[in-house]
Amino acid sequence: MKSVFSKNPEYLLLAAVFILLIVLSFLSQGYYGGADNINHYFLSRYSFTYPKLFLNPWGRPLYTILASPFAQFGFRGIKVFNVILGFLSAWLLMKTARELKVSSSWMAVIIVCFSPLYMVMMFTALTEIVFSFVFILSLYLFFSRRYIAAAIVISFLPFARSEGYFIIPILFLGLVLRKQWKAIPFLGAGFLFFSVIGAYQFKDLLWVIRNNPYPLIHPVYHTPGDFWTFIRQTDITFGAPNLILLCLGIIMLLLSLLGGNREKRIQSAEILLMFLLPVLGYYLFHSYMYSKGWAGSLGFIRVMAAIIPVVSMVTLYGFSLFTMLAGNRKWLRSAFTLLLVASIIYFNFKLYKFPFPLGEEEKQIKNASEWVKSNFKPVPVVCYNDFNVPYFLDTDPYSSDKSIQLWKAETVKNIPMGSIYIWDSHFGPHECQIPLDTVMQDPYMRLIKLFRPKKNVLTFGDIPYEVYVFRKNPVANEFDNYFLTQAFIDQEDRDYSPVIRQVFDFEKASPDVDSRIINTNAASGKQAFLMDKRTDYSPGFLFHCSDLPGSYEKIRVKARVRVYSEATFADNPASLVISLENKKGAYAYKAFFMENSNFSKGKWNQAFLNADLPAIQSPEDVIKVYVWHRGKTDLIIDDLIVDILAMGKDSR
Mean pLDDT of all residues in the chain? Answer: 91
Other CB atoms within 10 Å distance of the CB of residue 28:
21
> 3-class SS at 252?
helix
Dihedral over Cα of 184, 209, 284, 316: its sign: negative
Tens digit of pLDDT for each residue in 468-506?
999 999 988 777 888 888 888 888 777 788 888 999 888
Report which residue type is found at 68.
Answer: S
Which DSSP string corresponds to 377-436? SS---EEESSTHHHHHHT--TT-TTTEEE--SGGGGGGSPTT-EEEEETTTTTTTS---H
Looking at CATH, the fold of the domain delimited by 496-649 is given as Jelly Rolls (2.60.120)
Domain positions in the chain: 2-351, 360-493, 496-649
Peptide bond into 539 cis (omega under 30): no
The residue-averaged pLDDT of 68-94 equals 97
Which of 53-67, 311-325, 439-453 bottoms out in mean pLDDT, i.e. has the lowest?
311-325
Phi, psi values for residue 627, rounded to 5°? -105, 130
Which DSSP string corresponds to 279-322? HHHHHHHHHHHHHHT-TT----GGGGGGGHHHHHHHHHHHHHHH
pLDDT value at residue 305: 97
Q: Pick from 70, 90, 89, 91: which is nearest to 81 by CA?
A: 70
pLDDT value at residue 558: 92
The residue-averaged pLDDT of 582-608 equals 89
> Over 90: is that where the pLDDT of 596 sits?
no
Q: Which residues, at least 6 apart from 440, have a Cβ–Cβ distance to it below 8 Å? A: 447, 481, 482, 485, 596
- Does residue 355 contact residue 150 with C-beta atoms inside 8 Å? no
pLDDT value at residue 257: 87
Q: How many CA atoms lie within 13 A of 185 on its CB side?
A: 1
Tens digit of pLDDT for each residue in 370-418?
999 999 989 999 999 999 999 999 999 999 999 999 999 999 999 999 9
Q: Pick from 36, 109, 130, 20: which is nearest to 431 by CA?
A: 36
Return the bridge partners of 611, or none: 557
Tens digit of pLDDT for each residue in 56-70?
999 999 999 999 999
> Over 80: is that where the pLDDT of 196 sits?
yes
Dihedral over Cα of 594, 598, 602, 604: its sign: negative
- H or E element that contains 543: strand 541-544
Residue 243 to residues 226, 247, 250, 584, 628: CA-CA distances in angstroms?
21, 6, 11, 38, 53
pLDDT value at residue 6: 57
Tens digit of pLDDT for each residue in 550-562?
777 788 999 999 9
